[in-house]
Structure 1
């Protein structure tokens, strides 16, 4: 066709598979037009294209770059390039370097005036849950290599003369949404980092961190614990989530509240109750930031919160108001601390949630066996499947939750081996496993303590005022992102429900007890006929064949969303477990809760397809939830 600019047969790598295998690499016919790049099945014998397999709109492309080949890459996959857009990287393999260079050059020419072009990219592949170049474990993490300003993506004049907005841009509805918020690029060996928090060494191998001081990274073989050197020459291990790269990390500024959502920002600002109180948080749009500002002006009783997107010019400068552009976000914030420039107020007072440091993966480097004599038991939190759970202290000062495993309830030896792996899992929406006490009976499981307790109780009792749709969807977003991380690590939860999520003091929801159901020794629990089996959260393949997978977790997530939007009602409340096990495989589904609109309910129903393969992944669910959340805001 005359509108076709380029046409070529390439090998494409699947975007959905977690593991790389020959089945993930298939030949497709790629066709580039002015509006999109599309790929098709094709008949090699007849030389004809067949069905459309996918496409990317040119206007949505954020970056086009080559990709370094992996070790032992076969010859046919030596010349890879990547097209980055909202859903992540599309990996394409050309037959030779000349063809690859031709496509990259043409694509860069076509996208150089796009909005939201990336400043950094990943030069290596995302494979098996990690970026091979920088070892970050979040697929949407910002790139680790700065793009050359001459590469055609960031240079050149803007052809259109569309004016900038005359006033700061408040968050709006209606734009399609992003992947998960991007994280700043991670440090590399030899790089200087700054401590965001103080850290007191827990073991002889640890190194003390002093807030705002610089450290040199020496080794990064463990994702959660890096070996570092301080300015006095002392070396040891530090928690990797306590430091930030010196060059461009916002984390070192007290006004930046990472992983804070809109509802949490409003709650914090209203609690502080200062006119001009402000913070900067991740926007709903990936890789973007929002200034949240509290004002007592405007006549609203008690004051109100405004949310302003930090926008980017085609040249990569940041602005909140017309003609006030800055090279960095800290420069922008500094200016608006002295000038309102169209906002309801200047930024007068920093409001921060930075007092409490994040959880570490373990209580010190290499520590997974915890001495029970270092634990102090303070009060009972409740009784779970495996026994009593208590709130306590480790070494008299660190809050922990302690599960006291009832003898005979768990396959202990199998769990202890698994615990060593589970301790390395770290995500802001997972309850952190600190370690275990196995030298005596009963054994203890020591985890992060979350002050607002179980999500189910929080839904029923903790939401003191009538919750907004945004608040409820933010809860669902937290769970989806925690589960997306578990999915990327090939972990199956098997018992996902509101009762197995906890809520911290800021209202962040975290998934807990992932994978523990595998070690239950109670026959009544492991049989779908028994009353303890999570029948109400189980899909047909589990009810009929006890077949668990990440797709059975997806079904349970849909039920958990239903729990959230009914504020903790029991699913299928009028039916017995036996009736549910009989009727769900025959098509019974939960009704739409009153608080859930059609878009929210449609997310639930996509989780409840009969066929597991027709259900989305958690990564896809997280994107969809963010999309709806952005529209609601």
Structure 2
């Protein structure tokens, strides 16, 4: 047998030679020699090679490239690559990016002298009779992306592999490996377990027969935790059903039962609440904007005879012995004891804590769907009230579900969307549930046009809010807007979900001023050629990095670039990026290294965050988690 160059156990995807043939994924032992790449059945327990299952002659290989992983791919299928030969693509999944790079490089060395090497390839999978990247239905269709090196992506040692004058983004082989992903889906809700006693923070009226009613401040026992958004629970009367996981808290926490504790409220929102109340000594306790599990006391004061008043913020500190304090020498074993003391004694604060200011009357958070297991909505239960605008897919209206729940309804005009693909994806999109994402409630697919039903946000589009509503905003408010977006995007990043069209126009503002990201992932289903092509006039060129403009290579790092542009929109109060250039000029300028200027309202530290998002190399850009921490640190020190 010829000497092997490499041997490795990979997951191999079935060829799916017919549209109707089911996909399967099996572990195979792959062996690369100079003549063939062969794959064998393998006995993992004995560590022995078994029967030959197939092979590809290396002289027939036309291209070797990575494949973009599926959205929400499992951990063992995050690093796919493809070997293209006469019969089509052979899809292989490596265990790590390093192993994938090693095999791709060795394969390219082996086949670099082959004839008929491809100049274009398909960056996404062939599946169910269609190329997922370009929607072509012929398996032998020419690739839709130009290879980033000459001679079909293969090059001889010692030769230059690029002669373009434009600065190109790195090839996938050059990029640093991504950080390892957690072994389980990040969507799972931490801190809860079966048998735990929890307290309802909000009232919940059952929406389906499977649901259980929640009464605020009453206790419930968790019975099942199989869905991150809906737990099965029982009440004290023995009734069982599903409850929204974001409506409850652990009974042991203790702070939720106090009116002065305002959960999920930021510094600007706290100040607005306190100033609206306008009482000297008004106070509330909120989560720290910097550290999880830490708390801040916000106090309103008219000290010195002020007529307008101002707010002071005090971080609750903890001693080495676990005692809580605001002022040294006044230590307490719990936060409620600390608050009780300062309600009677200023003890170093600008004022004693005289009046509780609470946001408890505010509405409950959104649920992931309108009831457990419900994603298909009966259109007869929708009432249309007024038109909100016209979007990429059609008219958007404000309405009611069952006459009592506010919703936004996108009425999808026929021919604007790949409807079947979206409907299949909608089941997953509904499970994405975060305070800084606009919640998808469900869809109406039994009639045409189909409806997409989402959370309704009273203050509308962020872009219009910046241009028309904000008057002399503080630097803290602008940065907190950016923090809201970064936290929503960090959640998408953790769940391996790419937005592809992040911009101020695709964010909405709720009645409290919280920013929420919307329309994540929807651009994949647009059928408008001008929108889906990077040369089209409708394509979001002004928010796109070089690798998207040149190669349509989307990733969480292209979302990072767009976030930097969104920050620029926020700090210019809604100006159009590169407003003096057309799309062609923008592509030329961006690929030549030009970047947006520093807005007048942004200091050097804020502008440095924007600039970090605009590195030419994707692997040099931060993650959204990095951005969240950087922005929180900056807010903490303001």
**What's the TM-score, normalizing by structure 2?**
0.71
Aligned match of 1:453: 460
CA contact (8 A) 1:128 1:488 kept: no
**In the TM superposition, what whole-angstrom CA distance separates every residue of 1:167-223 from its partner, at most 9, and x where no partner exists?**
xxxxxxxxxxxxxxxxxxx23111111111111000111000111111111111111
| Distance across 2 between alignment mates of 1:427 and 1:284 | 17
Structure 1 residue 294: deviation in Å? 1.0
Give 1:400-411 correspondences, 5 Å limit. Answer: 400-411=407-418
Structure 2 residues not aligned, in runs of 5+ = 1-72, 77-93, 100-180
Aligned match of 1:43: none
Structure 1 residue 284: deviation in Å? 2.7
CA contact (8 A) 1:244 1:252 kept: no
2:389 aligned residue (379, 382, 392): 382
Matched, 1:136 2:189: yes
RMSD over aligned Cα atoms: 1.9
Structure 1 residue 301: deviation in Å? 2.1
**In the TM superposition, what whole-angstrom CA distance separates every residue of 1:569-594 from its partner, at most 9, and x where no partner exists?**
00000001121122211112111111
Matched, 1:272 2:253: no
Structure 1 residue 257: deviation in Å? 1.5
| Distance across 1 between alignment mates of 2:511 and 2:518 | 16
| Distance across 1 between alignment mates of 2:255 and 2:636 | 23
CA contact (8 A) 1:18 1:127 kept: no
Give 1:431-580 correspondences, 5 Å limit. Answer: 431-463=438-470, 465-580=471-586
Structure 1 residue 347: deviation in Å? 1.7
CA contact (8 A) 2:269 2:513 kept: yes
| Distance across 1 between alignment mates of 2:577 and 2:290 | 33
Displaced runs of 4 or more, over 6 A:
none
Aligned match of 1:429: 436
Aligned match of 1:398: 405
Equivalent pairs counted in the alignment come to: 466
Structure 1 residue 126: deviation in Å? 4.7
Structure 1 residues 422-431 or 269-278, which shifts more? 269-278
Find the residue that maps to 2:256 and give its secondary structure: helix
Matched, 1:309 2:315: yes
Give 1:225-304 correspondences, 5 Å limit. Answer: 225-286=230-291, 287-304=293-310
| Distance across 2 between alignment mates of 1:255 and 1:601 | 36
CA contact (8 A) 2:186 2:495 kept: no
The structure with the larger Rg is: 2
**What's the TM-score, normalizing by structure 1?**
0.71
**In the TM superposition, what whole-angstrom CA distance separates every residue of 1:73-126 from its partner, at most 9, and x where no partner exists?**
xxxxxxxxxxxxxxxxxxxxxxxxxxxxxxxxxxxxxxxxxxxxxxxxxxxx95
The structure with higher relative contact order (CA 8 Å, sep 6+) is 1
CA change 1:294–1:192 in 2 (3 A) is same
| Distance across 1 between alignment mates of 2:448 and 2:263 | 40
**In the TM superposition, what whole-angstrom CA distance separates every residue of 1:552-584 from its partner, at most 9, and x where no partner exists?**
111101110110110000000000112112221
1:201 aligned residue (191, 199, 206): 206
| Distance across 1 between alignment mates of 2:245 and 2:327 | 36
Structure 1 residue 24: deviation in Å? 8.0
Aligned match of 1:610: 616
Find the residue that maps to 1:362 and give its secondary structure: coil
Structure 1 residue 324: deviation in Å? 2.2
CA contact (8 A) 2:290 2:629 kept: no
CA contact (8 A) 1:217 1:227 kept: yes
2:636 aligned residue (602, 606, 630): 630
Structure 1 residue 536: deviation in Å? 0.4
CA change 1:600–1:217 in 2 (3 A) is same
